[in-house]
Structure 1
Amino acid sequence: MLQVITDNKQGGVFDISEIVTGATWKTSRIGKPGSVDLTILQDANYMVSNGDIIALKWDDVPLFYGYVFTIGRSEADTLTIKAYDQIRYLAATDTYVFKNKTAAAIVKQIADDFGLKWGHVVDTKYKIPSMVEDGQKLLDIIDKAFALTTINTGSIYVFYDDYGKLAVQNVKDRVLELVIGDGSLMTDFTYQQSIDSDTYNRIKLVRDNKKSGKRDVYIAQDSNNIAKWGRLQYYQQVDDNQNEAQIKALLDQLSKLKNRETKSLKITALGDPTVRVGSYLKIEIGELAIDQLFLIEECSHNFAGDDYTVQIELKVV
């Protein structure tokens, strides 16, 4: 059963579960705050204001903790409410200069600077040599730090709001004990293989050489895939302090990450509160010869009366 609790921050705590007619909780692994959209019956005993706290649970399992940002009214005697988790406050822009800081340390520093709460933040280990971000959105800065960490280490991390506290985890530690597919929760699917979004078969890295006054160029390419797909080039200028061994290691890492098709899968299934973005989920679909783990990129939990369904966007990594 869905439980919806609100708090007006002035001592007024209300359980509005009985007047909620529909709810959707959406999360994304990269670039967006978690959000909740509620439709509720208007009730003379309940008033809602922007900034109020909204908390959702399913059978006492914590799902969402956030803040009201939009209230809508209509002649149909219903209210619509949109709330976001703490990550919404990272839409602010500012300027930061980081040197030799991990993505985890960057998260903590920005959170502390903006009065946000953080909880379980694992050590992401890789120290980013330099990041100069002038007038950038805070969430973009954080996402860039995690992207640089993945490019240089191969490790993928998820940054999310864990029921009111910012959190960071390595996705390898988030494997769900759940199988979705043939005969197990799934009601529909769509599948796509693509070389259009994040596939590169030629990696080109350049470094400004202060000693020679020239630009050093490092290239790794897959001739077979170039013949098959055409040349798809990834270009990056690396820090001039990186040595040749570090650059070659980066070339190798980028080749492993980028020189392949991206495979995405969208599934509609019966609801399960353990399904979260940044987690690995076992998928079994005989028609596609799929029996493997996928990483959850986006997720939408939908509640209407006693009906609970989930829409999941996944990819192979």
Structure 2
Amino acid sequence: MIELFIVKTGEMIEIPTESITWTGQRYKAARKITANILYTDKGGLQYTQVEEGNTVLFKWKGKELFRGTVFSKAKTKGGLLSLIAYDMLQYLLVNKDVYVFNKRRADQIITRICRDFQIPFTSIANTGTVLNQIHTNETTLYDMVLTALINTEKQSGIRYNLLSEKGKLMLEEQKISSDQWVLETGVNLIDYNYFTSIEETATQVKLVSGDENNPISVTVSDSSGQKQFGVLQYFEKVTDKLNRAQLNSRSNSLLNKKKGIQKELDVTALGIPEIISGKPIYVLENEIGVKGTRYVDVDTHTFKGDHHEMQLKLITRNTRAVL
């Protein structure tokens, strides 16, 4: 059953709730809930007052799934009020600044930002890798943190995940588990849409760096893909200062991501609270020949009464964006 509370110092006030949608997307900062709550009864008696800035806590069957801040609300007919709340990562997304980080680890960068912007945090893993990052242009705090984590992964090979846990930011090393939830037709998979396309496919990647007087150009190709689909070139003028070896590495990384038929699987299934964006899941669907691990790119969980359903956008590789 749905339980939604306003959290205040020393007390939790339960809010009568009709339904909740809980959503998230890989590398898109905050998770959020959209809650439809009972605002007044038929006689016009007002229930608990909810204001922007309130902390709300959402539990499902006694387990906490979300804690965050109310950012907006809208009254509707029938005594309902719809509110939107985001977790603490939202404060990294909405705030911008300039920073120079000399010889600082990603965890030190995160801790500094949290202290400067009064963002509560808890366990922050020591990332070990020392970085130099200069943000002289207006940049979101989230982009600063994501850049630090990507550069750490490039140097150490270790991936770290930033999340919001019980109203506080947390950084942990990503652990790959051999245990996976399974979605299977006739068991818990309700419906699916399976898309295949070459509209975003590249059989050739060309990147150009440097200035006009001393340009550096690298082109890499997928010969088998060109035989099948023709030349489909992805071109980018890179603003970063990269040497030829770095440019070649980025070109090959992009080609690996963009080559071949692009496949997208959207599913509707019985809800599993543990399945959120970035998590692996094993899919068995014989009609379209899908059998294996996919990763959740976007998740939308809908709760109403005692029913929980989820819509997932699934991808084949859980890779970060190239910077």
TM band (smaller chain): 0.7 to 0.9
Mark the CA change 1:129 to 1:66 in structure 2 (over 3 Å): closer, same or farther.
same
Aligned partners of 1:102, 1:203: CA distance in 2, in Å? 33
Aligned partners of 1:81, 1:154: CA distance in 2, in Å? 40
Mark the CA change 1:13 to 1:120 in structure 2 (over 3 Å): closer, same or farther.
same
Show the 5 A alignment for 1:25-36.
Answer: 25-36=22-33
Aligned partners of 1:232, 1:153: CA distance in 2, in Å? 31
Q: In the alignment, which of 59, 62, 65 is matched to residue 61 of structure 2?
A: 59
- Per the alignment, residue 165 of structure 1 pairs with 168
Residue 202 of structure 1, CA deviation = 1.6
Residue 153 of structure 1, CA deviation = 7.7
Aligned partners of 1:260, 1:127: CA distance in 2, in Å? 37
Aligned partners of 1:101, 1:264: CA distance in 2, in Å? 38
Task: Give the counterpart letter for 1:311 in structure 2.
Answer: Q
Aligned partners of 1:84, 1:158: CA distance in 2, in Å? 18
- Per the alignment, residue 230 of structure 1 pairs with 231
Q: In the alignment, which of 17, 20, 23 is matched to residue 20 of structure 1?
A: 17
SS in structure 2 opposite 1:109?
A: helix
Residue 70 of structure 1, CA deviation = 1.8
Residue 49 of structure 1, CA deviation = 1.7
Aligned partners of 2:221, 2:52: CA distance in 1, in Å? 53
Aligned partners of 2:200, 2:125: CA distance in 1, in Å? 29
Mark the CA change 1:126 to 1:199 in structure 2 (over 3 Å): closer, same or farther.
farther
1:137 is aligned to 2:136: no
- Per the alignment, residue 46 of structure 1 pairs with 48
1:313 is aligned to 2:313: yes
Mark the CA change 1:125 to 1:220 in structure 2 (over 3 Å): closer, same or farther.
farther
Task: Give the counterpart letter for 1:233 in structure 2.
Answer: Y
Structure 2 unmatched runs, 5+? 41-45, 318-323
Task: Give the counterpart letter for 2:39 in structure 1.
Answer: Q
Structure 1 unmatched runs, 5+? none
Task: Give the counterpart letter for 1:277 in structure 2.
Answer: S
Aligned partners of 1:41, 1:78: CA distance in 2, in Å? 5
Residues 218 and 244 of structure 2 are in contact (CA less than 8 Å); yes or no, is this contact kept in structure 1?
no
SS in structure 2 opposite 1:287?
A: coil
Q: Deviations over 1:189-218 (max 9, x none)?
A: 112233444756324253469xxx733333
Q: Deviations over 1:73-101 (max 9, x none)?
A: 23412222221111222212212334565
Q: In the alignment, which of 97, 102, 117 is matched to residue 100 of structure 2?
A: 97
Could you tell me the TM-score, scaled by structure 1's length? 0.82
Mark the CA change 1:282 to 1:196 in structure 2 (over 3 Å): closer, same or farther.
same
Q: How high is the sequence identity, in percent, across the aligned residues?
A: 24
Show the 5 A alignment for 1:113-192.
Answer: 113-122=116-125, 130-146=133-149, 158-169=161-172, 173=176, 177-192=180-195
Show the 5 A alignment for 1:200-215.
Answer: 201-207=204-210, 214-215=214-215
Mark the CA change 1:218 to 1:55 in structure 2 (over 3 Å): closer, same or farther.
same
Mark the CA change 1:123 to 1:264 in structure 2 (over 3 Å): closer, same or farther.
farther
Residue 138 of structure 1, CA deviation = 2.4
Residue 311 of structure 1, CA deviation = 1.1
Q: Deviations over 1:72-129 (max 9, x none)?
A: 2234122222211112222122123345655554433322321212344455666665
SS in structure 2 opposite 1:89?
A: helix
Aligned partners of 1:238, 1:129: CA distance in 2, in Å? 18
| Segment of structure 1 superposing worse, 251-260 or 294-303 | 251-260
Task: Give the counterpart letter for 1:281 in structure 2.
Answer: I
Residue 130 of structure 1, CA deviation = 4.3
Aligned-residue RMSD, C-alpha: 3.2
Aligned partners of 2:96, 2:194: CA distance in 1, in Å? 37
